[in-house]
Structure 1
Amino acid sequence: MKKLACLAALALCFSAAQAAPVTLDMTSGTHANLNGSVVFDTYTEDGFRLRMVRAGDHYDPGFLGDIGIHNSFSNGDDVSWVLDFFGASFSLLNVNIAGYSDGASSLTLTGSNGATQVLSGLGTLAVAGMGNVTSVVFNIDQDGGTQGVGISEINVNDAPTRQVPLPGSLALLGLGLAALGLARRRN
């Protein structure tokens, strides 16, 4: 009986936390250049990572919104980048598009679940079909020339697969373990 109570307390303690909406403001994260280029190609905020697919493609903070993503002059066609949560699943809710440059006018989103959606227009645009994905590829498809898009905000549901011990559950576990220790000491 004591072992069963301890196992129940452990199960309660490490139950999954509820998924919560997360707003990536595209300004408070960390910038990096992991492809070895001289420009930023990876942005990380609240555990989410936005990274360019090809070397040379990059983003500029403050260009056309909080982050302006575009291809390089040497990559004269298309530009792709990936949003992921380092392998954990999440749901992409909407994207706030500040503007397009050099003739681009839409984004094609492809989720790791195979869903595809085209976003066109400006402002906060709802995203459908990108639930429980581990990554979403954003692509601007244009024949020749440079093109880009400015992003002001991305809204996601935090990864529901993350196991987070809740503080109240940890306290309950501690009390249960202390009670088991006292009971064992009496015996």
Structure 2
Amino acid sequence: MKKLVSLAALVFCFSTAQAAPITLDLTSGVHANLNGSVVFDTYTEDGFRLRMVRAGDHYDPSFLGDIGVHNGFSNADNVSWVLDFFGASFSLANINIAGYADGAASLTLTGSNGATQVLSGLGTLAVAGMANVTSVVFNIDQDGGTQGVGISEIIVDNAPTAQVPLPGSLALLGLGLSVFGLARRRRA
């Protein structure tokens, strides 16, 4: 019976919970690669990295939203940036768009899994098809002029397939190992 209790505790210990979604507020992370007085090309927060694809493209903190991504000093078309988790998989759930630099525009999202979605409009927009990706490329195309979008937050699940032991499960593991140790001690 005691062996059965110990085995049950070990099995239950590996009951797991999924990690909760994370809201990247785009203000509490680290800005890197300063290209001017207030423009950067890499931002990291909670293990996630947002980085520009083309040299010269950059983001400004507090431009249109918490981060305003735009086409730099060249006014070249098609601004692209990448969100990744340094090679680990994640799921992109929502993006909150504060505004566009030149009126109405849209964002095209392309996941490393091949899924594509076009987002238009403002506010918190649901993202579909970006589960278990290692990166998502964002592209804005406004055809000329300052092309930019302000983002207020991004909601991700940092490890949808990662399993995290529950605290109660770890306590049961300890109890089961204690019972197992006592049973062995009694035999000796």
TM bracket, shorter-chain basis: 0.7 to 0.9
Question: After TM superposition, where is structure 1 displaced by more than 6 Å over at least 4 residues in a row?
Answer: 1-5
Distance 1:60 1:174, change over 3 A: same
TM-aligned CA deviation for residue 17 of structure 1:
2.2
Is 2:115 aligned against 1:115?
A: yes
1:45-73, Cα deviation, whole Å (9 max, x unpaired): 23322222223322111110111111221
1:88 aligned onto 2:92: no
1:98 match:
98
Aligned-pair identity (%): 84
Residue deviations 1:119-162, cap 9 Å, x none?
11111122222223222110112444431110011122342222
Distance 1:4 1:135, change over 3 A: farther
For the structure 1 residues 70 and 173, does the alpha-carbon distance in structure 2 shift closer, same or farther, using more than 3 Å as the test?
A: same
The offset of 1:174, in angstroms, is 1.5
Which position in structure 2 is the counterpart of 1:59? 59
Aligned counterparts of 1:132 and 1:48: Cα–Cα separation in 2: 14
Q: Which moved more, 1:49-58 or 1:115-124?
A: 49-58
List alignment gaps of at least 5 residues for structure 1.
Answer: none
Alpha-carbon contact 2:75-2:147 (below 8 Å) kept = no
Match of 2:50 in 1: 50
Do 1:91 and 1:132's aligned partners in 2 also have CA atoms closer than 8 Å?
A: yes
Matched, 1:183 2:183: yes
Aligned length: 185
Give the whole-Å Cα distance in 2 for the aligned partners of 1:16 and 1:47: 22
Whole-Å separation in 2 of the counterparts to 1:37 and 1:2 = 65
Partners of 1:5 and 1:108 lie apart in 2 by 54
State the structure with more CA Rg: 2
Partner of 1:130: 130
Note the residue ranges of structure 2 that are not aligned, 5 or more in a row. Answer: none
Q: How far apart are the structure 1 equivalents of 2:42 and 2:4?
A: 47
Question: What is the TM-score with the length of structure 1 in the denominator?
Answer: 0.82
2: CA distance between counterparts of 1:2 and 1:135? Answer: 48
Task: Give the structure 2 partner of residue 70 of structure 1.
Answer: 70
- Residues in 1 aligned to 2:7 and 2:104: alpha-carbon distance in whole angstroms: 56
CA distance in 2, matches of 1:14, 1:75: 54
- Once the two structures are superposed, residues 92-115 of structure 1 have per-residue CA deviations (whole angstroms, 9 ceiling, x without a partner) of 222111111146711100111211
